[in-house]
Amino acid sequence: MVNIDKNNKNQTEYIKKLEETCKSQEAEITLLKNQIAWMMEQMKLSKHKQFGASSEKSEYDQLSFFNEAEKEVNKNLQEPTIEEIEVRYKRKKKVGKKEENLKGLPVTVKEYFLSDEEAKCPKCFSSRHIMGKHIRKELKIVPAKVEVVEHVTHTYACRNCDKNGEQTPISKSKAVEPVILGSIASPSIVAYIMSQKYVNAIPLYRQEKEFERLGVDLSRQTMANWVIRCSDDWLFPIYNLMKEKLLEKDILHADETTLQVLKESGKPAQSKSYMWLYRTSGSSEENIVLYEYQPDRAYKRPAQFLKGFKGYLHADGYEAYHKLPDDIIILGCFSHCRRKFDEALKSIKPAEQIGSKALQGKNYCDKLFKIERSLVDLSPEERFKKRNELSKPILDEFYAWLKNCNALPKSALGKAVTYALNQWEYLNNYLLDGRTELSNNRAERSIKPFVIGRKNFLFSATARGAKASATIYSIVETAKENRLNPMKYLEYLFKKMPNIDFRNDPQQLEELLPWAKLPMECYISGKES
């Protein structure tokens, strides 16, 4: 009996150990499965970012996936007759579209006539008259060409006084002041170089080769010197005045992106610097876009730039903006929120997307954007009222859904939910004023030209060059926002500013701002908008 009890006891202990081992292994298997699922999710997201479309539109939308027919139905619409259907299939060609596209361009007319011999009638040999004409239009491009302009000033003296007088009065004709004293640079060539780099994203080394093909030996170092010098002398005063105007507004947008500066004191060449962006909102009468270069991403940077500003600031979820003074109210970005749910949706299999939590979260955002599109033509006061009537219930429902989502924290869906909950206070702030916006897309669109340019020129050599780039990007992007031709506007500034006393007469500088009354050639297609 003793042996049997011992055996039973040993078996019981052995079974317990097996159960503990099984539980441990099951826990380990569950952990490994979660890790594999997370890794597969990251691989899908990585592949999509590298090879997939950048658009965040889904192949389907839960709001319309199951009620497509109901969404399109119109109960008051009568059924068309067969004749009406046949007529609708014939699409009328839009008259005057070509003429509208060519309007405003200079026209060179080439006429073709018969010779005197050919113009004679083959029957009676008398001269024939022109009874009509056919006009064929074509676009012609005139390639860039480089010319030398000589500015000749003459000195005048009196021969009579020279012969008979004790002194000879001497006068000299006055020429326009150069954009750079002692340089061969002209307003047009500096404007062209800046426009090529900061509007068309063509680096200076490529421009150097292009000038070489035009027969001009113009090094990239010389061009860089011209760009920085003109930025400091002529564009920076415009930048400072635009900054004053910007800080007077009460609704702004902000964003930031990285930049590499090779030669910066106290920093290795591989370290990151930052280009910050601040711009006006859609409710502003004056469109202003300003870049600011800074060596880091510290919270004090926006605090320093926005000193004196009071009002609403649209931004992403970066916490530096949340440390700004209390008289600056931060508004979150629902595009960022939606994007994270969109990434979570793309990380799962297509067959599992319908009805998924990721799609549900994304559709809450889509409902809010749909409401905003319907309110675009309303006044700020009406929009404020409608938002609280239509959008607030959806926001309340969305928040309750987020609190009960129970997503794994490290999963793409978990990150989307966490982001939304952490930013909820700021995401809701757009309800406070009818002039504010649901997203920070306006700032993202404005910073994109710099991001495209950075892909081509990769880095700035010095901090001074980076600051000059920030100034020039500010000028050209603000010019574009105000329907100006950036190159023509720059050329106008470089012609005008060396010949006026704007430092002692601020009003003269006011008259050069992008939204001021400027010459017609500064506007796109020569038309003031």
Residue 138: inside a domain, yes or no? no
E strand or H helix that includes residue 256? strand 251-259
Residues 309 and 199 in one domain: yes
pLDDT of residue 69: 40
Residues 460 and 325 in one domain: yes
Find the DSSP H helices in 214-299: 220-230, 236-247
Mean pLDDT over residues 457-471, rounded?
A: 88
pLDDT of residue 51: 55
Alpha-carbon distances, residue 89 vs 79, 82, 149, 492 (angstroms)? 16, 11, 59, 51
Q: Which of 439, 474, 503 is the last residue of a domain?
A: 439
Find the DSSP H helices in 80-186: 82-89, 97-102, 159-164
pLDDT of residue 89: 47
pLDDT of residue 62: 43
Q: Which of 439, 456, 474 is the last residue of a domain?
A: 439
Residues 341 and 427 in one domain: yes
138 phi/psi in degrees, rounded to 5:
-145, 150
Q: Which of 422, 439, 456 is the last residue of a domain?
A: 439
pLDDT digits (tens, 9 = 90+) for 473-517: 999 999 999 999 999 999 999 999 999 999 999 899 999 999 999
Asked whether the predicted pLDDT for residue 82 surpasses 50, the reply is no
Mean pLDDT over residues 285-291, rounded?
A: 95
pLDDT of residue 307: 95
Mean pLDDT over residues 142-155, rounded?
A: 87
What is the tally of structural domains in the chain? 2
pLDDT of residue 71: 43
Nearest to 486 by CA among 444, 527, 521, 452: 521
Contact 249, 313 (CB under 8 A): no
Q: Which of 71-80, 375-384, 425-434, 488-497 has the lowest mean pLDDT?
A: 71-80
**pLDDT band at residue 8 under the 50/70/90 scheme:** low
Residues 353 and 432 in one domain: yes
Nearest to 252 by CA among 228, 279, 275, 218: 279
pLDDT digits (tens, 9 = 90+) for 245-286: 999 999 999 999 999 888 788 788 788 999 999 999 999 999
Residue 525: inside a domain, yes or no? yes
Residue 128: inside a domain, yes or no? no
The pTM assigned to this predicted structure is 0.79
**Mean predicted lDDT score pLDDT of the chain:** 85
Mean pLDDT over residues 322-350, rounded?
A: 92
Residues 252 and 340 in one domain: no
Q: Which of 159-163, 170-174, 313-317, 394-398 has the lowest mean pLDDT?
A: 159-163
Residues 360 and 211 in one domain: no
Residue 248 structural domain: 187-331+440-529
| The amino acid at 366 | D
Distance CA 191, CA 148 (A): 16
pLDDT of residue 57: 61
Residues 359 and 470 in one domain: no
pLDDT of residue 470: 96
pLDDT digits (tens, 9 = 90+) for 193-241: 999 999 999 999 999 999 999 899 999 999 999 999 999 999 999 999 9
Residues 295 and 191 in one domain: yes
CA angle 99–102–107, rounded 5-degree value: 110
pLDDT of residue 85: 43
pLDDT digits (tens, 9 = 90+) for 17-52: 777 778 777 777 776 766 676 566 566 656 655 555
Asked whether the predicted pLDDT for residue 461 surpasses 50, the reply is yes
Q: Token digits for 416?
A: 């989307």
Which range is most confident: 6-10, 47-51, 309-313? 309-313
Residues 204 and 326 in one domain: yes
